[in-house]
Amino acid sequence: MTMTAKQMEYCSKAAFVRIVIDDDLYEGGTEHTQWVRVDGFDPEEKVLYVHEEDSGEEYGLEGPDLIDAKFYELKELN
């Protein structure tokens, strides 16, 4: 599956993403969510580059990784 147009729109604006993590759900594991900070978005490759705040691990997310994700952007408060 490729990234949808709506996902691409969200990725281009997002500062943080809450992704669903599936730890071998079908093998009796659990499903939980994780916050990641957006480092950048490559619209040609359709990859959202993120990193975990706690571990510092960096990786790229593609369309299937973002199916149930929630996207957040930063807005000025004052």
Query: Per-residue pLDDT for the chain (78 aa), expressed as one digit of tens each?
Result: 589 999 999 999 999 999 988 766 556 656 788 899 999 999 999 999 999 988 889 999 999 999 889 999 998 887
Looking at beta carbons, which pairs linking 56-60 to residues 24 or more positions away fall under 8 Å?
none
Choose among 37, 48, 36, 44: nearest CA to 12. Answer: 48
Q: Is 78 within a domain?
A: no
Asked whether residue 38 is domain-assigned, the answer is: yes
Q: Is 0.95 surpassed by the pTM of this model?
A: no
Task: Report in angstroms the alpha-carbon separations of 56 from 29, 39, 67, 77.
Answer: 24, 12, 23, 27
Domain-located, residue 46? yes
Beta bridge partners of 37: 16, 51
Q: How many domains does the chain have?
A: 1
Does some domain include residue 77? no
> Residue 21: which domain range?
5-72
